[in-house]
A and B are shown apart, each in its own frame.
Chain A
Amino acid sequence: MDLTDKEYVERCRDGHPEDFGLLVARYQKSVFAYLASRVENFPQAEEAAQESFVRAFLSLRKLRKPESFYSWLLGIASRVAKEQFRAELHRRRDSEAAETMMTSATGPAEDYPLEEAMAVLPENHRQVILLRYYEGLSCQEVATRLAMPLGTVTKTLSRAYVQLRHELEARDFRESGEQIVNQEEQP
């Protein structure tokens, strides 16, 4: 049976650092997807994902709420992406590419914040989403993996969808205000 994030974090702190690999396995794809929309290319996203996990490991003792590991990890990943963006700007400071970067954006691209929205889901809901979509398991395989009936998996997915949609709509509203309404009204 898989442990919760909190249990893995506590085991890592209690002298089982190898268990951190299980947290990496759990979140590597969602962190990569999160970063892929914020950095320039996939190699940088992979490099940034590795860096994020290593920094998370090194700061694990500072994590006050181990149950919030995932949202805390995304915060680290976001900072890594911003540092990478600034480093890239610095590296290209004399080139035309830097001008393009400077004029096209003031920071890393903020793409569809799906992974951030997932951070507000209850952990068991997030687990089902991760296994189904990021690990590519079927609902039946998710049910087997989590030792739960297929019906529970589909109900959990259903609730997770609703929560994700509400969270994304709330974020859209917060970030774009009236703009989103105007866009939807366009033909």
Chain B
Amino acid sequence: MNCADCRDNFIASVEGLLDHDQSLQCRAHLDICPQCRAEYEAMSRLQQCLIARGQAAAGVRIVEPVMRRVRAEQFKPERETLMSKLLKHRWGFGLGAAAGAAAILAVVLFSMPNAQAQALAVMTKGAQAVAKLTSIHLRGQLRTLPQDNFSLIMPDQDFVTIELWKQFEPDFKWRVEKPGRVAVMDGQSTLLFIKPDFGYKVPQATPSAFDTQWLHEMANLNKTLKTELTAIKARGWPVTLAQEQGADGKAKSVITVEAKSGLGADDYLHNKFFSTADTRRVYTFDNQSELLESVQIYLHAPAGDQLVFKLDEIDCNQPIDPSVFQLQLPASVSMGGAMPMLPDNEKYAAMTSEQAARALFDACAREDWTEAAKFFNPLTDTMKQYLGGLQVVSLGTHTTLSNGAEIVPYEITLKNGETKKWSVGFKRDPATRRWFVDGGI
């Protein structure tokens, strides 16, 4: 292979698209040609830089919040423009946000029936009451599995406790915890621990990670209420207000919002997560303090409405013990991280998610953990014990989700005789292009 041929193959090489022989020829040329090697290394550095930038932004999804604001701006009459100009240099969770919510409300109030306007006024006062958050602690109950995804709603499961601690000052840190799963951002990095032996570390501070975004959004009470206000107007969600006496004898304002996901009942994601569910959200505010005291979320399901989430402890601006943002992992934990490039990586990168599911389960059936580990990040001892010696009953065809992940339905018989029918979720690792298991096992 000469210099021109080799350079023609650079992209295919860094993208893992060369076959084995071509790859060997290219590498052989790079070994003897310092100019091509320097070019190749520069190209690889740029690729790594692009990969890193993409990974840093992987969880960013701002289309909806931006479009909500765009719609709200469209509804604003001209006289609001000056206010938006006055406010646009204010940031974060401070008075600017509260005043912004008030500005939207001011517009909304003019065009709504009186009862709805009163309900929205209560929500806006609630938003203003928490305009300056330095910390927040939420404690609630969610129908889900203790170890599974933080955002998965499973109406047929019992309630498990889910908590969030979030500190905005002096340093931004957070922790989300369920009985079998913990995620901690300590200001430097973000760590996920799934009990008993799975760990994964993101080497950056993140605003949210590992499917905790919905709870972070709820913790940003001001923004949550502002978002609800905008959606009520822009999407026509029904909202009602009732006055009740609370268990403490005090008067409460109870606001009910009927939220629609816009997804069809046959959509796989429908009613699986709060952002994709049709729900009734009930917010209770104390009339005297104007603070939000509790939230209940009911899932609209064919069998009837069911309470799936209840948030009844909301502590604002209380000091949080620094140890909350520290997480010591047991020595037995297997840590996930950057997936290694395999010698025969192309073979795995070329697989469909269905082929990956077949290869994964076949490897588990024969307890070939070297092979099975290629589909996990990481493969833990608990998983080996659980899946070793399984038998595949059937595998279905994949479905692609809106986040690019793919799920493959499967039915397996475990070594203990138990049959499991579920869907395994796969994501592609950006660097190696290999599928890895992202849930559903």
B60 contacts A28, C-beta separation under 8 Å: yes
Nearest-CB residue, chain A, relative to B209: A42
Nearest-CB residue, chain B, relative to A111: B53
B205 contacts A138, C-beta separation under 8 Å: no
Tell me, in angstroms, the Cα distance from A88 to B12 when the chains sit together.
Answer: 45
Nearest-CB residue, chain B, relative to A51: B88
**In the complex, which of the residues A28, A54, A86 contacts B69, with contact meaning CB atoms closer than 8 Å?**
A54
Set of chain B residues within 8 Å of A157, measured between Cβ atoms: 11, 15
**In the complex, which of the residues B53, B63, B204 contacts A24, with contact meaning CB atoms closer than 8 Å?**
B63
Set of chain A residues within 8 Å of B90, measured between Cβ atoms: 87
B89 contacts A87, C-beta separation under 8 Å: yes
Set of chain B residues within 8 Å of A32, measured between Cβ atoms: 56-57, 60, 62
A54 contacts B89, C-beta separation under 8 Å: no
Tell me, in angstroms, the Cα distance from A50 to B227 when the chains sit together.
Answer: 14
**B 1-43 contacts with A by CB, 8 A:** 10-12, 15, 17, 42-43
Residue-wise interface mask of B (53-73) relative to A, using a CB-CB cutoff of 8 A (1 in contact, 0 not): 110111011110111011101
Set of chain B residues within 8 Å of A50, measured between Cβ atoms: 62, 65-66, 69
Closest-CB distance, A48 to chain B (whole angstroms):
8
Closest-CB distance, A147 to chain B (whole angstroms):
17
**In the complex, which of the residues B12, B62, B67, B91 contacts A44, with contact meaning CB atoms closer than 8 Å?**
B91
- For chain A, the count of residues having a C-beta within 8 Å of the partner chain is 54
**In the complex, which of the residues B49, B58, B60, B88 contacts A46, with contact meaning CB atoms closer than 8 Å?**
B60
B74 contacts A134, C-beta separation under 8 Å: no
**In the complex, which of the residues A21, A36, A138 contacts B349, with contact meaning CB atoms closer than 8 Å?**
A138
A154 contacts B67, C-beta separation under 8 Å: no
A42 contacts B404, C-beta separation under 8 Å: no
B433 beta carbon closer than 8 Å to chain A: yes
Set of chain A residues within 8 Å of B58, measured between Cβ atoms: 29, 136
**In the complex, which of the residues A36, A86, A137 contacts B57, with contact meaning CB atoms closer than 8 Å?**
A36
**A 8-47 contacts with B by CB, 8 A:** 17-18, 20-21, 24-25, 28-30, 32-33, 36, 41-44, 46-47
B46 beta carbon closer than 8 Å to chain A: yes
Q: Which A positions have Cβ atoms within 8 angstroms of B?
A: 17-18, 20-21, 24-25, 28-30, 32-33, 36, 41-44, 46-47, 49-51, 53-55, 57-58, 83-84, 86-88, 91, 97, 112, 114-115, 129, 132-139, 150, 154-155, 157-158, 161, 164-165, 168
Chain A to chain B contacts (Cβ below 8 Å), 10 pairs: A28-B62, A30-B57, A43-B207, A49-B62, A50-B62, A50-B66, A97-B170, A133-B430, A138-B433, A165-B46
A42-B206, A136-B54 known, 15 other contacts, Cβ within 8 Å: A29-B57, A29-B60, A33-B56, A33-B57, A43-B172, A53-B66, A54-B73, A114-B53, A138-B433, A154-B12, A154-B15, A154-B17, A157-B15, A164-B46, A165-B42
